Chain A
Amino acid sequence: MKSAKRTSRRAAVIAVVAVLGAVTACSSSGGAGPTGGTSSGASNGPVTLEFWSFYTGSEADYVNKWVNDYNAAHKDVQIHHKVVSQTDYTTTLIPTALANGTAPDILYVEPATFTKYADAGALADLTPYYTDDLKKDILPAVLKSVTYNDKLLALPIELETLGLFYDKTALAAEGVTPPKTWDEMKADAKKLTNDKRFGVALPVEDTGYTLFNFWPYLWMAGGDIKKGSDGKYSIDTPQMAQALDFYGSFFQAGSSPKSLQIGPWDVGNVATGVAAMQESGSYAIKATETDYKAASIGVVPLPSPDGGKGITVAGGQKLAVNAASKHIKEAADFIFSGFGSTDLSVASGWVTQAKFAYPARQSVIDANKDIFNQGLRADFTNFYDTARPEPSYPAAVTQALQTALQDVMFGGSTGADAAKKAQATANAG
């Protein structure tokens, strides 16, 4: 009896271990090594490179076409393209994949993630793949934004700039002309606010996107953030305080919505009447011609303190190669064939067909002059030369600034107090 019990217990244990073993075997056969990228390629078969993107709609279709065309023309290298959620991409997905060795060979980076990954040594050096002509073709400030310790770690593919979108009908009804100065913007926003609508929609959340929308105001106030010789970042300046006060004033006056139902980048905030004006980017133009065709939407440069020539910010994605990839050369060949080659078809199509953005290269701008002068694109083209690339700072600095923005929007802080607090937190070590 006892022995039978022992036998059945042993059988149960064996069964559990067997299932565990099976599961482990299944998972290990599909996994990748602990340090390498996910590419593979037998000695006599084609090299397969993993490429992850997060695009949807026409942008996703365009990337797919690019990959398919490349695969058809290259029998020795095949790109395996996978689409994932954008939120996951920029937060948890890529860092965890880099940690467990399953990150793609080719990935997108933006200013916030560029510094994080570059600091960690996760991006391959692409300097050898840049020709001198290509370096000259890329706008100098943009080239600087992908430079890390004198090495070029990514290839910029687009520039997305910000402007002030407005509802032409709403402004005309109130007898308001689009603002040119900060004072005008505050007064107009107040005048355009009524029971059913806000004056101006600005990003509100504690995110990098809100900070991206804030940079032009800091620069227009004459401020910037520099790293001193003592290693500390200069945040607590009168210019920072002035810009913070300006941004916060719309929320304190009740002229801006304190929460947004749709994304702050979605020009639907103006098109559907949430607000009469909205800060958004060149990426919103396509929606004004399709989803919100019925609305009458215009765009002007972001107002400056005194009505002079303003400054806007240029963000946008860059392509990079995983430093742990076993096929860095092949991966670099793929991205440079599309966006770094003298054949401009892929680079042009991306900023004119897949979406609307400005290219990072002068030659692509020259080749598509007509397109950049159509509709709202013409307005953006007019102030294109006022764009500064989105800066890249350590996470502690950006988080401190995001908190400062929250403090002036919702915490009742003055710009000076918020800047002082941010200076302390960002440099706390």
Chain B
Amino acid sequence: MGTSQGNARRRRESWAAALFIGPDLIGLVVFVLLPILFAVYVSFFGWNLISPMKFIGLANYRRLATDSDWWLSMGRTLQFAFIYVPVLFAISLGLAVAFTKLTGRTSAGLRSAYLLPFAVTSVIASTLWMFLYQEKTGYLNAFLNLLGIPDQPFIGSPAQAMVSVVVVVLWINLGYTSMLFFSAIRQIPASLLEAARLDGANGWKTFWGITFPLIRPTSVFVVVTSTIASFQILDIILVMTRGGPANATQVGVLYIYKRSFDQLQMGYGSALSVVMFVILLVISLIQLRFTRRNNLEG
């Protein structure tokens, strides 16, 4: 009797699990897995989206190997990642530590304030920052003028455009990432920190000796996801600069977008996407492997 009741309950649970997982699984297959497989398939064809596809074997891949504009755009993606990931990591970790030192309403208020930009859609955020960046009439330049610094072109300058875009992406994501670190730090047992203090460790030593190693899983998560996000950056650049000026912000995904839709080279665009996918996969695996090894050694 007991066993049969148990079986019935397990059956019900399995049904419930299937119903909960089902829609997500379908979404994953339909919107992620199938498009990836289709992109791989299309990458072996010449296809302008409208005429019938023409099988051309590895020609798209041979072409991208010598496409200097593609590799330049990948270089700009790396440039974005090299600025964005460390700065995001450092500032949001610093903010999280500061949040833990504050108490009560100040801490909650500050956390909410930093999280607010995360709720703003990227297009709105981009437009807002374009107002701020405007030369001669923008608030940011008005502020610089007060400090005696002349007007800066920001997104209108090949030298400043990438950093200007990174600032917007940071503005959006700092609050969220600092919340991740904040939660991780709050989960460290107080007894460990107390023991360190009794042993005479100062705040700096406690941070490097206890806090930082113990929040490693969150650190890895932040580095991996922000690296992936860097490689996928498109919407903000599309709104703010469309890759300009003079291609200074033409990152890899934008190059793929332009090839695929502006020039209707869907086969070539798919081959570029596949290569980017492989690059991202390799970077993520290296990051995960590196961390796992550190964890084991630690």
Contact = CB atoms under 8 A, between A and B. Distances in A.
Interface stretch (A119-127, A282-290, A297-305, A380-388): A119-127
A259 B153 contact: yes
Contacts of B18: 11-13, 15-16
B36 to A, nearest CB: 17
B50 A91 contact: no
A117 B155 CA distance: 34
A5 interface: yes
Interface centre among B3, B153, B258, B262 (most CB of A within 10 A): B262
Do most interface residues of chain A lie in helix, strand or loop, or is the interface mixed?
Answer: helix
Nearest to A3: B7
B157 A258 contact: yes
A4 B6 CA distance: 10
A257 B138 CA distance: 12
B21 interface: yes
A29 B26 CA distance: 18
A259 B10 contact: no
Interface in B241-263: 241-248, 258, 261-263
B79 interface: no
B17 A96 contact: no
Interface in B202-246: 241-246
Do most interface residues of chain B lie in helix, strand or loop, or is the interface mixed?
Answer: helix
A396 interface: yes
A19 interface: yes
Interface in A1-35: 1, 4-5, 7-9, 11-13, 15-16, 19-20, 23
B51 interface: yes
Contacts of B248: 410
A16 B24 CA distance: 10
B137 interface: yes
Contact of A197 (B17, B30, B136): B136
A117 B48 CA distance: 9
Interface in B270-298: none
B170 interface: no
A403 interface: yes
A325 to B, nearest CB: 14
B45 interface: no
A240 interface: no
B82 interface: no
A83 interface: no
B50 A8 contact: no
B264 A120 contact: yes
A238 interface: no
Interface string B116-141: 00000000000000110111110000
A196 B136 contact: yes
Given A95-B49, A258-B157, A399 B263 contact: yes
Nearest to A100: B49
Nearest to B265: A395
Contacts of A149: none
Contact of B3 (A1, A9, A198, A396): A1
Contact of B261 (A12, A92, A258): A92
B83 interface: no
Interface in B17-46: 17-19, 21-23, 25-26, 29-30
B187 interface: no
27 contacts: A4-B11, A8-B15, A11-B15, A12-B17, A15-B18, A16-B25, A16-B26, A19-B19, A23-B30, A91-B261, A99-B266, A116-B264, A120-B50, A195-B136, A204-B156, A205-B242, A257-B134, A257-B156, A258-B135, A258-B153, A259-B134, A399-B258, A399-B263, A406-B247, A410-B158, A410-B244, A411-B246
* Top 5 closest pairs, chain A to chain B, by CB: A258-B156, A120-B50, A8-B14, A12-B18, A410-B245
Given A8-B10, A12-B15, A120-B49, 6 more contacts: A4-B7, A12-B14, A15-B18, A20-B29, A116-B48, A259-B154
